[in-house]
Every structure is written in structure tokens, then in C-alpha cells.
A = this chain, B = another copy of it.
Amino acid sequence: MTPNKEDYIKAIYEHGGENDVVTNKSLVKALSVSAASVTEMNGRLLKEGLLTHTPYQGVRLTPKGLQIAHKLIRKHRLWEVFLSEKLGYDWNEVHADADLLEHASSDALIERLDLFLGEPQYDPHGGVIPNKDGTTEKLDHTPLVELKTGTHFIIKEVNDQQEFLEYLLHKNVQLGNEYVLKEIEPYEGPLTLQSTEGLETLISHKAAFKILVKIVS
């Protein structure tokens, strides 16, 4: 499927476009389009005042762009809750369908869906659902990769890419589980986690960026 404006905005947001400049290159990868297409779309979104652009540097969302991003994330995550809780999807299946539905949801529909679902705060991967007014509660979760050995923590939020969730499933990593970080291999080697039952799991350095945790001690 060819991405549209909304997908670009969301991708920029997800790559840190709220606070930092996001490079074309990362958008090329995220959206699977050519570099030329990204340049062109940047131009369009710039003209609409949704982002600022520093040539050869990248783009950053304006408040207006940010609001659209928040709204999209809200829609996406509420649909994820619906798919998971009401239709019985596994947490690694919800992403693709939510991605379609989010673009086809009127604001009124989303507010009713929110009520129907009981105004949930988190999606199935622990992501915070932005409020109706576009504000998002900031959680002080830490990327697993930043922890020191010996730290006890609880898994709070994970990236929602299908393949990544399958990886975690395979590793038996779930939201809410508690672990100790036993060891960190140098040179971006894997991290060894030990669950409270004593089981050990290896998590790659790259994956450790996508797992957010709450430090227990």
C-alpha cells in the first residue's frame, strides 16, 4: 500500500519528530519509498505548515503537525485495543489492521469507540493512548539498553512492529514481567535477562532499544 500524508506524519513523529530533526533517510526506510518521494512529500507538508525543514538535515513537526500525529496515534492505539480485547487478536497481529482503520475513522467514531472500550489508557504493547485533546501522558520508562547490570525492572512498553513482537514472543518476553539485567556483552552484544523464576534470556542490543521498562531497584 502506498503511504499517504498521514503515514508520513506518523512516521516522523515515531522517529522523534517532536523534539529532533528526522532525516529523509530514516523516512525512506520506515515508509519503503524512494528518497525522491520523501523530498517531495516534505515539500507538501511544509506548504501545509505541518513541519519545518532544514535542507539536507531533515524535518521536524510543527505544533499543528504534532497534533495530527497525536490524533493518529490515538486512533491507531484505540483500534489496537479493540482488535485485541474484542476481536481476540494476539498482540502481534493488531498492527497491520489498526494501520488501515486509523485512516478511516472519523473523530466522532473514535470517541464512541473510546467509550465502548472503557477509555483505556494503554494499548496492547503498553503504549500510552493520547487524550482526546491531543496531549499525551509522559511516562518515565527507560529503554532497556540504558540500564546497568544488576538492575531489577518490569517490562512496560514495547515497539509494535509485527516481526519484533514475534521475536519477543519467541523469547517469552511479556508486558508486566519482572527481570534482572544479569550481563551486558560489550561491543553492542546481547543483554542477559533473568526472570524472577530464574530463567535466562538473551536480548540483542538492537532489540534493547525497543523495550521500555520501569526500574524497580
Contacts and interface: CB of A to CB of B under 8 A. Distances in A.
Interface string A85-107: 01111000000110011011110
A112 interface: yes
* Max chain B Cβ within 10 angstroms of own Cβ: one of A87, A103, A115: A87
A115 B88 CA distance: 10
B106 A103 contact: no
A96 B106 contact: yes
* Chain A interface bracket (under 10, 10 to 19, 20 to 34, 35 or more): 10 to 19
Contacts of A109: 83, 87, 97
Is the contact region of chain A dominated by helix, strand, or loop, or is it mixed?
A: helix
Contact of A87 (B89, B104, B116): B116
Contact of A89 (B96, B105, B112): B112
A215 interface: no
A39 to B, nearest CB: 26
A86 B116 CA distance: 7
A112 B113 CA distance: 17
A100 B96 CA distance: 17
A48 to B, nearest CB: 18
Contact of A101 (B86, B89, B104): B104
Nearest to A109: B97
Contacts of A86: 116
A105 B96 CA distance: 10
* Max chain B Cβ within 10 angstroms of own Cβ: one of A83, A96, A97, A115: A97
B100 A113 contact: no
Interface of A: 83, 86-89, 96-97, 100-101, 103-106, 108-109, 112-113, 115-116
Which 4 residue pairs of A and B lie closest in terms of their CB atoms, listed nearest first? A104-B104, A100-B104, A87-B112, A97-B109
17 contacts: A83-B112, A86-B116, A87-B109, A87-B112, A87-B113, A87-B115, A88-B112, A88-B116, A96-B106, A97-B106, A97-B108, A97-B109, A100-B105, A101-B101, A101-B104, A101-B105, A103-B104
